[in-house]
Structure 1
Amino acid sequence: MSISAAHHTSWTELPVERLDSLLTRQFVTGSQAMLARLELKKGSTGPRHTHPNEQISYLAVGAMRFSLGEEGSAEERIVRAGDVLVIPGNLPHTAEAIEDTVIFDIFAPPREEWIGLRGD
């Protein structure tokens, strides 16, 4: 990659999307991956969903309960600060912040539906 193709930014320069009263999201994209920073207040939950993107989650602060797999046969994992969780594409999952949490998610390829919502 040439230096002219590099992109440098700061989280303070990226838009903060307030998804609800308990969740904010920021993200930056490259051509093959996306890095997202999410802040979740205790009690924030996401519905069970799937996406084709591989997801690698690093918890910087807090703790989350993930439910991985189909409802009724899902495996539960508690992920804490310093832990990493890899979620393969198309695996149904849901998550709940059991403490105030800051999580960084890498998605490959980038989540096109997120980009479209922000208008990038």
Structure 2
Amino acid sequence: MTDRQNPLPWVETGGGVSRRVLSHTPEVMLVEFRFGPDGFGAPHHHPHIQATYVREGRFEFTIDGVAHIVSAGDTLIVPSNAVHSCRALEPGTLIDVFTPRRDDFL
């Protein structure tokens, strides 16, 4: 059973990106991100392990200085505390799993 039965509202995060928390427990969180044309997630890091699934679109992720081009159906893992960013090469949607939960998203 999750703490949330329904998704939280969409939140504009800047850079042409919005997110909504789909479900969460203290141990894990599922989040949907929408990227518009030229959407960009600035370089950052966090202690959470992040798994990303590309639902649609095409993206360039940079993780600890290494660029990765991903498209629909691809996945990647961002290790704990790795500096990473994401740039939409075309509009799209990412589904991210964080462990433990990102309390800053609530």
In structure 1, give the amino acid aligned to 2:54: L
Aligned mates of 2:28, 2:15 — CA distance in 1? 27
Larger Rg: 1
Aligned residues: 104
| Selected match of 1:95 from 63, 68, 86 | 86
| Selected match of 1:86 from 77, 82, 89 | 77
% identical equivalent positions: 27
SS of match in other structure, 2:90: coil
> Cα distance, 1:113 vs. partner?
1.6
Between structures 1 and 2, the one with greater helix share: 1
Instruction: Return 5+ residue gaps in structure 1 as ranges.
Output: 1-5, 116-120
Q: Where does residue 9 of structure 1 map in the other structure?
A: 5
Instruction: Return 5+ residue gaps in structure 2 as ranges.
Output: none
In structure 2, give the amino acid aligned to 1:17: V
Superposed structure 1 runs of 4+ greater than 3 Å apart: 7-11
Between structures 1 and 2, the one with greater strand share: 2
Aligned mates of 1:39, 1:106 — CA distance in 2? 15
Q: Where does residue 54 of structure 2 map in the other structure?
A: 59
What pairs up with 1:1-40 in 2 under 5 angstroms? Answer: 6-7=1-2, 9-11=5-7, 14-20=8-14, 22-27=16-21, 28-40=23-35
Which piece of structure 1 moves more, 21-30 or 99-108?
Answer: 21-30
After superposition, what is the alpha-carbon deviation per residue over 1:24-60, rounded to whole angstroms, capped at 9, x for unaligned? Answer: 1101211200000011112011111110000000000
> Cα distance, 1:68 vs. partner?
1.1
What pairs up with 1:98-117 in 2 under 5 angstroms? Answer: 98-115=89-106
C-alpha RMSD of matched pairs (Å): 1.5
